[in-house]
A and B are shown apart, each in its own frame.
Chain A
Amino acid sequence: MTQTWDINGAEISSRLFLGTAGYSSLDALRQSIESSTPGLITVSLRRENAAGKGQSFWNIIKEFDIPVLPNTAGCYGVEEAITTAEMAREIFDTNRIKLEVIGDDYTLQPDPYGLLLATEKLIDKGFEVYPYMTDDLVLAQRLVDLGCNILMPWGSPIGSGRGLNNIYALRQLRERFPDKTLVIDAGLGAPSHAAQAMEMGYDAILLNTAVAKAGDAPLMAGAFAKAIEAGRAAYLSGIIAKQEHATPSTPLLDKPFWHQEKS
């Protein structure tokens, strides 16, 4: 079932984008990548000392022939996010940037105003912006107006495991932006959450904590990969409409005793 697909001109092998943070060990991370073969791997930047603590992580990621999606995680300001993106572009040699401009400490909700300002500047600088956003329809339209071909609304707050908090808003985004790539980013806990989003027609799922903090991360990574494939297949197959009454699945015509005359 797995087929390559196109995201902004790049051929991607899977609809799962996997985060690399919070695993119990680098080996658990490596096994999770192996068991799920994600289409993109998200990475970040942190201060480096001369001992080179970040180099061993990067050596593992390089073992896989999977494109990376750097993020600006932890940025609360526009200029900070832009500088981080520029550093990420040089280190990871890609124009892709998962743009996070956080506006609230407690929910890690993106700052929509900062997100728009940073998006505009980064697109001007040649970046391919993957905006981490709320499910707000008008914000989505403004991002598209700026040139975003990809939108990444949250399912729910990062790491919360709550799944899709606002089904209505997420359906609206899918219906209103049929030609844009929509990726659910953040808040998923169970593979069924991912399948639900894919059944709604979302193009991909980005997740991290649900895998990294699972009891068996590699096993959970594989479970998410299967759920995403299943949800995509279901969407393409055409899910039946809900109805209020029962319809027998077994034909009743000529069943034994069918309309038998009473003696």
Chain B
Amino acid sequence: MKITINGTIKTIDNAMNIHNFLISEGYEDKLVAIAINNHFIARTAYNDYTIQDNDIIEIVAPMQGG
């Protein structure tokens, strides 16, 4: 299925929850937060949400800011 990660379209083979998705994408040790289709998904809900076709996923981390 086709998804968009941080503005880049990508194809993934299997439906998976966010927890497994982050591991598969190499984020398992990173401090990140997630929004899907413009809605924040809390860390506590990572096992409950299964990535859907055409999902738009934002993965963010701490960055410099003023």
Besides A55-B31, A87-B35, 9 new A-B residue pairs in contact (Cβ under 8 A), listed by A number: A42-B66, A43-B64, A50-B26, A58-B31, A58-B61, A87-B40, A87-B58, A90-B42, A91-B61
- Which residues of B are found within 8 Å of A45, using beta-carbon distances? 33, 60-63, 65
Asked if residues A50 and B62 are in contact (CB atoms below 8 Å), the reply is no
Q: A36 within 8 Å of B by Cβ?
A: no
Q: B43 within 8 Å of A by Cβ?
A: yes
Asked if residues B30 and A19 are in contact (CB atoms below 8 Å), the reply is no
* Residue of B34, B43, B64 touching A44 (CB-CB under 8 A): B64
Please measure, in the bound complex, the distance between the C-alpha atom of A86 and the C-alpha atom of B42, giving whole angstroms: 9
A73 and B60 contact, Cβ closer than 8 Å, known pairs A50-B26, A91-B31 = no
Asked if residues A83 and B30 are in contact (CB atoms below 8 Å), the reply is no
* Residue of B31, B38, B59, B66 touching A158 (CB-CB under 8 A): B66
- Which residues of A are found within 8 Å of B10, using beta-carbon distances? none
Interface size on B, residues (CB 8 A): 26
Please measure, in the bound complex, the distance between the C-alpha atom of A90 and the C-alpha atom of B26, giving whole angstroms: 20
Q: Which residue of A lies closest to B62 (CB)?
A: A58
Could you give, for residues 1-28 of chain B, a 1 whenever the CB lies within 8 Å of some chain A CB and a 0 otherwise?
A: 0000011000000000000000001110
Q: A22 within 8 Å of B by Cβ?
A: yes
Please measure, in the bound complex, the distance between the C-alpha atom of A73 and the C-alpha atom of B59, giving whole angstroms: 16
Please measure, in the bound complex, the distance between the C-alpha atom of A87 and the C-alpha atom of B35, giving whole angstroms: 8
Please measure, in the bound complex, the distance between the C-alpha atom of A45 and the C-alpha atom of B64, giving whole angstroms: 8
Chain B interface (Cβ < 8 Å from any Cβ of A): 6-7, 25-27, 29-35, 38-40, 42-43, 58-66
Please measure, in the bound complex, the distance between the C-alpha atom of A223 and the C-alpha atom of B30, giving whole angstroms: 36
Asked if residues A49 and B6 are in contact (CB atoms below 8 Å), the reply is yes
Q: A245 within 8 Å of B by Cβ?
A: no
Asked if residues B66 and A46 are in contact (CB atoms below 8 Å), the reply is no
Asked if residues A91 and B33 are in contact (CB atoms below 8 Å), the reply is yes
Q: A204 within 8 Å of B by Cβ?
A: no
Q: List 20 A-B contacts (CB under 8 A).
A: A21-B65, A22-B64, A22-B66, A43-B65, A45-B61, A45-B62, A46-B60, A46-B61, A47-B59, A48-B6, A52-B61, A53-B61, A55-B62, A58-B61, A71-B66, A80-B38, A86-B33, A87-B34, A87-B40, A91-B60
Q: Which residue of B lies closest to A58 (CB)?
A: B62
A47 and B64 contact, Cβ closer than 8 Å, known pairs A80-B38, A87-B40, A91-B32 = no
Q: Which residue of A lies closest to B42 (CB)?
A: A90
Asked if residues B61 and A86 are in contact (CB atoms below 8 Å), the reply is no
Please measure, in the bound complex, the distance between the C-alpha atom of A125 and the C-alpha atom of B61, giving whole angstroms: 21
- Which residues of B are found within 8 Å of A54, using beta-carbon distances? 31, 61-63
Please measure, in the bound complex, the distance between the C-alpha atom of A57 and the C-alpha atom of B64, giving whole angstroms: 7
Asked if residues B63 and A43 are in contact (CB atoms below 8 Å), the reply is yes
Q: A14 within 8 Å of B by Cβ?
A: no
- Which residues of A are found within 8 Å of B31, using beta-carbon distances? 54-55, 58, 91
